[in-house]
Amino acid sequence: MQAKDIKYTIEDFYALPEGTRAELIDGVIYDMAPSPSTEHQEISGELFVAIHSYIAKNKGQCKVFSAPYDIQLSDNTVVIPDISVICDRNKITNKRCVGAPDWIIEIVSTNAVSDYIIKLHLYQSYGVREYWIVDPKNQSVTVYHFGEDFNTEKYNFSETIPVWIYKDNPTPLEINISELL
C-alpha cells in the first residue's frame, strides 16, 4: 500500500506526538501552519471576547471556544477551527466537540485553499449552520449560511456583519471587525 492510500482514524490522530499541529480530514492528516501571526491572534481574541460577551449578556445557551479545541465531525475527521460556537451542549465533552458546531470562524493564515475550498465543503456537508472566513490580508469576511437559506455574503472589516444564527434573537449579534481592533 502506498502512503497516499493510507486512511487514518481518530485513534491514529490522537496518537500523534503531543504538540503536533494537525487536522484529520476524511482520513488524511494535514499539517497546520506554525503558530499564527500577531494579527491573526488579535482578531481571534477580539472576536472570541465579542461573541462570549454577547452570549453571557443575553444568557444564551451556546458556548464559544477558541483554538486549539478539537471538533470531531466523524470517526476520520477532526478539525481545529479558530473559533467554534456550539449551541447543543450535548455535543461538548471534556476534550472536544463531537458533531458540527453551529458557527465556525476560520482566520486565513498561510493555507487559504483549505479554508475556502476543503473546509467550506466539509463544514457544509457536516451541518455547520454558519461559516465565516476572515481574511486579514484583504480585510474581508466571507460569510456562508448553510441550510435551507444557503447564501454567501462578503463584507469588508469596516462593515457591520449580522450573525445569522442569532438573527431571530430579540437582540441580534452584529460584529464590526474594525471596531474590535
What is the residue-wise DSSP string for 52-117?
A: HHHHHHTT-S-EEEESS-EEEEETTEEE--SEEEE--GGGB-SSEEES--SEEEEE--S-HHIIII
Provide mean pLDDT across the span 105-113.
81
Does residue 181 lie in a domain region?
no
Find the domain containing 103 and state its range.
3-174
Q: What is the pLDDT of residue 173?
A: 96
pLDDT-based confidence at residue 84 (cuts at 50, 70, 90): very high
Per the structure, how many domains does the chain have?
Answer: 1
Does residue 15 lie in a domain region?
yes
Does residue 119 lie in a domain region?
yes
Paired sense of beta strands 103-107 and 83-86, if any: antiparallel
115/49: higher pLDDT? 49
The three three-digit cell numbers of residue 100, written as one number: 458540527
Please check the confidence at residue 3 and state whether its pLDDT lies above 60: no
Q: What is the pLDDT of residue 2?
A: 41
CATH (domain of 122)? 3.90.1570.10
How many Å apart are CA 131 and CA 107, to the nearest integer?
A: 11
Cβ neighbour number for residue 40 with a 10 Å cutoff: 17
Does residue 180 lie in a domain region?
no
The three three-digit cell numbers of residue 37, written as one number: 501571526
How many Å apart are CA 104 and CA 13, to the nearest integer?
A: 21
Provide mean pLDDT across the span 154-163.
97
Q: Note whether 76 and 8 are within 8 A (CB).
A: yes
How many Å apart are CA 115 and CA 164, to the nearest integer?
A: 20
Provide mean pLDDT across the span 108-114.
72
**Confidence (pTM):** 0.89
Give me the numbers of helices (H) and strands (E) for the chain, helices first please: 5, 13
How many Å apart are CA 21 and CA 109, to the nearest integer?
A: 14
